[in-house]
Amino acid sequence: MSLTLAQLAQALDAELRGDGRTLIEGMATLKDAVPGQLSFLANGRYRRHLAATRASAVILRAAEAGAAPSAVLICDDPYLAYARAARLLHPADTLPRGIHPQAVVDPAAEVDASAWVGPGAVVEARASVGAGVFIGPACVLAAGVSIGAGSRLVARVTVLAGARVGQRALLHPGVVIGSDGFGMARVAQRWEKIPQVGSVSIGDDVEIGANTTVDRGALGDTVIEEGVKIDNQVQVAHNVFIGAHTAIAGCVGISGSTRIGRHCTLAGGVGVVGHLDIADHVHITGMSMVTHSIRAAGTYSAGTPLMENRAWRHNAVRMKQLDRWVRRLDELEKKFSIKELSK
């Protein structure tokens, strides 16, 4: 898709400095762009690439405009403007409609006439596929699940247990929704399975990354509210609740019955233990383990910093003795004050 800089400036509500007739045919980073492409500067880390960019135009803040060797599109939020420009220049493919002859659709499933069911996909009885939905190759929709209008299951997505997925969902390959939760009771040194009979409820505008798993509730539902964004390889256990517009980065694990608030962010590799309550607007930094409920909005962290291995070995030994030293420090302070007092 090609657009002129003038068209882009108008669509992005940006101030153009440069020739509005310049034709833009795609986007690239400052470093990789070639003439005819649009770039952007949002993260200061990449400012060093601005002066040498070959892009025909750059989206940036007013303060950076002077340093650009090209036309500029000035706006307050260059990252957002980049998102919108990318959407204009790389519009989504037109989706097919119908049922591929090598799909397996149960006669008792309801598939909207405007939806697509791809090759190798399986849609079982009483499953419901809404208007404009795209069910990619090798997806499995088990009996009774429903997929809201405009959703896209890219490929090899599995939805089970009567799960209800909202509108405009985007589920990436390998996603599993509605697998059994990990519930067992201990009986005489063996594990006895707790039947998992709940379901999963997913709101509108939710995106779920490749190979992420969302278990069904044991009783009641696992709930993901509207606008939640989840990255790849995240594990969401049974009866977890994730509040609206929360974003969860890759490799996070959330244990059973935990409630995450709205507008939270969990960075990569975070783990949250079960049965906790995390307030709205809580941000957890990477690879932290959350072991208690969090009542106040804010940013929370755990973990040790990276060290050269030799230094780490010395320090790690000390971590095992921390309590002992603090007692030694207490003792020393006490002796010292007694001595001072007794002077």
Active-site annotation, residues: 238
Among 48, 62, 125, 193, binds a second copy (CB under 8 A): 193
Q: Which of 52, 63, 185, 341 binds a second copy (CB under 8 A)?
A: 185
Q: What is the C-alpha to C-alpha distance for residues 287 and 306, in angstroms, rounded to an integer?
A: 13
Compute the distance between CA of residue 335 and CA of residue 341 in angstroms, rounded to an integer.
Answer: 10
Quote the least distance from Cβ 200 to a second copy, whole Å.
12
User: Does 47 help bind a second copy (rule: CB under 8 A)?
Assistant: no
Chain residues 161-180 in contact with a second copy, contact rule CB under 8 A? 170, 172-174, 176, 179-180
Of 146 and 235, CB closest to a second copy: 235
304 is a site residue for a second copy (CB under 8 A) = yes
CA distances from 39 to 53, 72, 185, 188 (A): 9, 9, 56, 64
Query: Which of 17, 49, 126, 263: binder of a second copy (CB under 8 A)?
Result: 263
Q: Which of 120, 128, 149, 279 binds a second copy (CB under 8 A)?
A: 120
Alpha-carbon torsion (28, 31, 34, 40), positive or negative: positive
Q: Is 97 in the site for a second copy (CB under 8 A)?
A: no
- Closer to a second copy at the Cβ: 18 or 174? 174
Question: In 3D, which of 137, 133, 139 has the Cα closest to residue 114?
Answer: 133
Instruction: Give the angle subtended at the CA of 206 by the CAs of 202 and 212, to the nearest 5°.
Output: 80
Q: What are phi and psi of 253, to 5 degrees?
A: -125, 130
**Position 102 contacts a second copy (CB under 8 A):** yes
Is 21 or 325 the residue whose CB approaches a second copy more closely? 325
Question: Is 225 a residue that touches a second copy (CB under 8 A)?
Answer: no
281: Cβ–Cβ under 8 A, 6 or more apart, which residues? Answer: 261, 262, 263, 264, 297, 298
Of 47, 48, 87, 295, the residue at the interface with a second copy (CB under 8 A) is: 87
From 57-65, 68-76, 109-117, 211-219, give the range in contact with a second copy by CB under 8 A: 211-219
Q: Crossing angle of helices 5-12/78-89, nearest 10°?
A: 130
Nearer to a second copy, 74 or 284 (CB): 284
CA pair distance 333, 267, nearest whole angstrom: 40
Q: Does 334 bind a second copy (CB under 8 A)?
A: no
* Binding-site member from 65, 86, 131, 149 for a second copy (CB under 8 A): 86
User: How many CB atoms are closer than 10 A to CB 318?
Assistant: 10
Binding piece for a second copy, criterion CB under 8 A, among 58-66, 109-117, 127-135, 156-164:
156-164
